[in-house]
Structure 1
Amino acid sequence: MNPRDLATLAGDTPIPRDAGGPVFAEPWQAMVFALVVQLQERGVFTADEWAQALGAEIREALARGGCRDGSDYYERWCEALEHLLIEKGLASHDGIDSLAASWARAAEATPHGRPILIENDPQAPRSSS
């Protein structure tokens, strides 16, 4: 993806970057970035829709006194993605909340150093095989 495409994805808000491209403080930030790029490339939403959604989330966060130093930038990506998927009918608030709770339980039940798998949620339905 070239730099002009990255600028289109983010609208008026600069992606945290250095001379080599986007900068990610944590792996989940790179994952959400890649997910947004893939969904946009597959036509789930347009670059303009993404820019509008992300811009709205950033403006709302700033209006609530959110971080102005950009440290919460990728959290805004998550919020924008969630709202865009709900708007498109591809997800629901309840579904996202349920998955987040399941992941949190799975994380709590996973021994340190092991990958967190949603199947580790002690409340997850078990298949009867």
Structure 2
Amino acid sequence: MDVFADLPFDRNGDPVFGAPWEARVFAMTVKAHEAGVFSWREWTDALGAELANDGENAGYYDHWLAAFETLLTAKGVAAGGQLAALRDAWEEAAHATPHGQPIELDKGLI
């Protein structure tokens, strides 16, 4: 299985993201790896496992995010409940924010 088959690249070979959150989770993953939170082998194993379980027919970066959250939980960086609460707060804030305005979470959540 070629896990990079659907990853978009521009004509220079650089990744292209369909939404800003995709670029953010990509960058957070790279920074977490560079900080020693997990090895690249652990990352590729987590992403590969997530891509293999494509029951929901999710997009590539949906799988990427799920793998990243799985590793953060497994490494004790964040509890699953914390990640779920933050995801819910983000979604609520996004729906409440007028188009074109920055999304802001309640200050008490961060």
The TM-score normalised by the length of structure 2 is 0.83
CA distance in 2, matches of 1:39, 1:101: 22
Which AA in structure 1 matches 2:73? Answer: I
- Structure 1 position 65, deviation (Å): 6.2
1:66 aligns with 2:53: no
Pairing 1:11-30 to 2, within 5 Å after superposition: 13-14=3-4, 15-20=7-12, 21-30=14-23
Find the residue that maps to 1:90 and give its secondary structure: coil
Rg bigger for which structure? 1
RMSD between superposed Cα atoms in Å: 2.0
Check 1:25–1:86 CA distance in 2 against 1; reply closer, same or farther (3 A cut). same
Pairing 1:32-111 to 2, within 5 Å after superposition: 32-61=25-54, 64=55, 66=57, 72-111=59-98
Find the residue that maps to 2:52 and give its secondary structure: helix
Which deviates the most, 16-25 or 72-81?
Answer: 16-25
Identity in percent: 43
Count of residues in Structure 1 that have an aligned counterpart in Structure 2: 105
Which AA in structure 1 matches 2:57? Answer: G
Which AA in structure 2 matches 1:104? Answer: E
- Structure 1 position 32, deviation (Å): 1.0
The TM-score normalised by the length of structure 1 is 0.72
Alignment-derived partner of residue 119 in structure 1: 106
Per-residue Cα deviation, 1:77-126 (whole angstroms, up to 9, x for no partner) = 00000001011111122111111121222223323321110028xxx67x
Which AA in structure 1 matches 2:16? Answer: V
CA distance in 1, matches of 2:79, 2:105: 19
Find the residue that maps to 1:22 and give its secondary structure: coil
Which AA in structure 1 matches 2:8? Answer: P
Check 1:16–1:111 CA distance in 2 against 1; reply closer, same or farther (3 A cut). closer
Structure 2: segments with no counterpart, 5+ residues: none
